[in-house]
Amino acid sequence: MDLFEYQGKQYFARFGIPVSPGGVADTVDEAVKQADAAGYPVVVKAQVQVGGRGKAGGIKLADNADEVREHAGNILGMDIKGHVVRRLWVEHASDISKEYYASFTLDRAAKLHLGMVSAKGGVDIEQVAEEDPGAIARIHIDPVDGLTEATARQLVDEAGLDAEARDGAVDILLKLYTCYVEGDADLVEINPLILTPEGKVHALDAKVSLDENASFRHPEWDEFRGLEVLDEREKLAREKHLQYIGLDGTVGIIANGAGLAMSTCDVVNQVGGEPANFLDIGGGANADVMANALEVINTDPKVRSIFINIFGGITKGEEVANGIVQALGRVDLKSPIVIRLDGTNAEEGRAILKDHESDRLISRPTMLDAARTAVELAGKGN
Ligand code: GDP
Ligand code: MN
């Protein structure tokens, strides 16, 4: 789960990493209130999960309420690389002497944590890595040993941070590493990490990606979830514990297994259609799960046909078919269904479906046939 900057800063603050005081705003009036509370000058920041907001005009300094009004009005609703700004973070503006970079992430190939620090922060770190790779100091950290103060200092020295920033940077690195490990993140990144004219070091931006596999020990993550940008379909799917991602097309998709669900999206594309969603119902495919999946897809006004693509493995074909039939009895579907059932006991499963076939429930022997039929039905605008 990726956090917005303001959530990342809240997370940082829990681990003692210094950030600027501020607050969120969803309207221009709220932005002014937050600015008054934070104290002028302030910086008004678009909250979207994409980098380069500054260059895109999504980050503006404001000296007074009128300027906050102007900038907040411009930034709310702005489209930054396909992400529409719905929320702002308004914080007390910092004076900047230097902009640095610091991060921890997992180096999967090395099977170790990787710490990176650079004196060339603020700008695109990918660009620095490309044009001046020597400007990024890197260090591998064995998770058993953890990050020691000596190692943190070595990293800061190698990066060549200004002398007056080094103690502050070491302190932040140690806290950032704790945030990364104890906070169960895959990535923690501060860009820029700034040095102020007063010699203080603090985080001006926050990028945090949490490891969902650890969510069971972080009930407090729920507060981040409520604020995620989900559309209505995705909200319903989450309530029903389905692996669902909304897309823009007209063919609703249900498949068992993430790989098959992706292939199903691909094959729909291949025959000239557009998937309305990705939906992986996992291994079970029983009536409850199937009914939930159909219900979510049924709420999507763009859907014109539904393609159910199931490959029976441990779950046998007849169980899947019975699940589908029962589910159909529970959900009042707006669109016709095309089913491709294969794998263990596919014959038995298809025999069950046959008794229920109509122009609203069509069974097809192969994935490609089923995709063609589903796309054709979607085109007819049922
Ligand atoms: P990003 O462009 O999405 O990475 O957004 P950042 O939060 O990193 O901000 C981009 C740039 O805006 C920073 O590198 C700073 O140069 C500038 N900026 C952000 N906050 C402040 C601030 O409080 N004061 C000043 N002077 N500049 C800021
Ligand atoms: Mn940044």
219-258 pLDDT per residue, tens: 999 888 865 556 778 888 888 888 899 999 999 999 999 9
Q: Which of 101, 177, 180, 244 is catalytic?
A: 101
Q: Over 60: is that where the pLDDT of 381 sits?
A: no
191 Cα: distance to centroid of ligand 2 (angstroms)? 4
**Tokens 């308004």, located at residue:** 90
How far is 83 from 77, CA to CA, in rounded Å?
Answer: 9
Q: What percent of the chain has pLDDT over 90?
A: 78
Residue 202 lies in a domain: yes
Runs of H (alpha helix) within 102-148: 125-131
Which among 45, 83, 96, 100 is the best mutation to test ligand 1's pocket, defined by most ligand atoms within 8 Å of the CB? 96
Residue 11 lies in a domain: no
pLDDT band at 110 (very low <50, low <70, confident <90, very high): very high
204 Cα: distance to centroid of ligand 2 (angstroms)? 8
Q: Over 80: is that where the pLDDT of 284 sits?
A: no
Q: Over 60: is that where the pLDDT of 207 sits?
A: yes
Residues with Cβ < 8 Å from 232, sequence gap 6 or more?
A: 299
For residue 53, give the ligand nearest its CA.
1
Look up the domain containing 61 and give its range. 21-92
Our answer on whether the CB atom of 343 is closer than 6 Å to any ligand 1 atom is no
How far is 201 from 303, CA to CA, in rounded Å?
Answer: 52
Three-class secondary structure of residue 244 per DSSP: strand
pLDDT band at 159 (very low <50, low <70, confident <90, very high): very high
Residue 53 lies in a domain: yes
Retrieve residue 161's tokens: 């941070």
Q: How far is CA 1 from the centre of its chain?
A: 5
240 and 376, same domain (yes or no): yes
Residue 13 lies in a domain: no
354 and 267, same domain (yes or no): yes
223, 242, 266 - which closes a domain? 223
Q: What is the mean pLDDT of residues 345-374?
A: 94
Retrieve residue 85's tokens: 């700004």
Q: What is the mean pLDDT of residues 3-11?
A: 96
Q: What is the mean pLDDT of residues 303-312?
A: 94
Task: Give me the number of domains the chain comprises.
Answer: 3
State yes or no: is 40 an active-site residue: no
Residue 16 lies in a domain: no
249 and 152, same domain (yes or no): no
206 and 138, same domain (yes or no): yes
